[in-house]
Structure 1
């Protein structure tokens, strides 16, 4: 896979795997201790666990791109990647909440909001769906500034073309993840294998016994723009 790719790319491609594996250690420790994470505790864990950061370098590999390291490391592209990852978290956790609940896994932002805010499942799902257009709007607003970034970095025509292809492919990856999540058997309860995380009441027991989840507003105020949220793009409306 690394053949023909520069050493800098290999270093970037390996780092998300380390974070991905490390997160599962913390998730296992949480389950063993009966900890139900709050939204603020959980989102930093869900970003590496959802797998998006692993896929981003593979966009370059599959598209045969050489994106300048200055572009990838820029605050703009880093912020776009974080927005993209949070979109993936929302997609995964809305579609996967029932299967994770059935397995006794509490690491789902829908479940975190439901437990933390003492709200209904529908209200928790709606809160996550409302985050989607906010993240997507942030992604698009940053994308609109990239021509200025490319000019400031004095990219060659070829470098600019590779960077633009990378961003388009990042958008396509988000769309394909949403479409796949709607059709895959992964999120169908009847298709679940033998339970993974222990007794089927593990989630209920954790909700009942946890006293460690601190009350905090959800979603966080700083994640919302001062203006009203934009109208959800139809691609990200998970309620259909």
Structure 2
């Protein structure tokens, strides 16, 4: 989290985050470190190499590949974000949620849930429809509640990479109306999460997986909910976003 915040602030709070070509060059070595194709360069690269190595210790190659790819996708999404800032373009609502997940580095963070809860899930579980539904619903809930908490800050900085601002622009709404729609979308994603939890339990039973694997899958699903709630509680208390002045509590 500390590494992500340092890089995120470097990208969001400086001119490098508004020049896609400059940012692509800046992130070039980090991309190689994330994918394991080149050695680390500079403090951020060395820190990333250390984090990836320690996170991957004892985990299988499939998990390691997925984790590295998700870190790489986050770095690429930073460049996508910079390109939109540079051109003064508001992202299209049909593509924004996918890019928002990547920009938020949520999926590599969620990969660590498996590690913390006992190791990598088998591919028949991690790539199944219920677990993928869980991951995406949880990721959207983290990102969209974050957008509710940060909308005033990002609007003040002229940064449109926020679901409330994207919705307001696309539907020609005021910010408060758009925030209400985003809050309703969060409720829908929460229902998706709840339904997927039941489907995951049914799936692991149908596949006849050992009780240890079934329990592990259920723990991972529960940990995603803890992640969602923990992020919300932190966001409402941290002075980072000036949360008392946003729409999150109302929504």
Under a length normalisation based on structure 2, what TM-score does the superposition of the two structures give?
Answer: 0.73
Asked whether the 8 Å contact 1:30–1:36 carries over to 2, the reply is: yes
Q: Deviations over 1:111-148 (max 9, x none)?
A: 11112222111101101011111000011011112222
Please tell me whether residue 239 in structure 1 is matched to residue 229 in structure 2. no
Please tell me whether residue 97 in structure 1 is matched to residue 108 in structure 2. no
Shift of 1:107: 0.6
Shift of 1:103: 2.0
| Counterpart in the other structure of 2:172 | 118
Q: Deviations over 1:6-49 (max 9, x none)?
A: 11111111111111111111111111111112322322211211
Superposition RMSD on alpha carbons, in Å?
A: 1.6
Structure 2: how far apart are the matches of 1:54 and 1:100? 24
Q: Determine which structure has greater relative contact order: mean sequence separation of CA pairs < 8 Å that are 6+ residues apart, divided by chain length.
A: 1
| Counterpart in the other structure of 1:82 | 136
Structure 1 segment 14-53 matched on structure 2, within 5 A: 14-53=68-107
- Secondary structure at the counterpart of residue 95 of structure 2: helix
| Counterpart in the other structure of 2:225 | 171
Shift of 1:188: 2.2
Asked whether the 8 Å contact 1:94–1:125 carries over to 2, the reply is: yes
Structure 2: how far apart are the matches of 1:93 and 1:36? 15
Structure 1 segment 3-18 matched on structure 2, within 5 A: 3-18=57-72
| Counterpart in the other structure of 2:207 | 153
| Counterpart in the other structure of 1:60 | 114
Structure 2: how far apart are the matches of 1:32 and 1:179? 33
Q: Deviations over 1:176-225 (max 9, x none)?
A: 01111111122129xxxxxxxxxxxxxxxxxxxxxxxxxxxxxxxxxxxx
Number of residue-to-residue matches in the alignment: 193
Shift of 1:238: 4.0
Structure 2: how far apart are the matches of 1:160 and 1:55? 22
- Secondary structure at the counterpart of residue 158 of structure 2: coil
- Secondary structure at the counterpart of residue 94 of structure 2: helix
- For residues 238 and 14 of structure 1, do their structure 2 counterparts lie closer, same or farther at Cα, with a shift above 3 Å needed? farther
Structure 1: how far apart are the matches of 2:98 and 2:201? 30
- For residues 238 and 135 of structure 1, do their structure 2 counterparts lie closer, same or farther at Cα, with a shift above 3 Å needed? farther
Runs of 4 or more above 3 Å deviation: none
Shift of 1:51: 2.2
Structure 2: how far apart are the matches of 1:37 and 1:3? 38
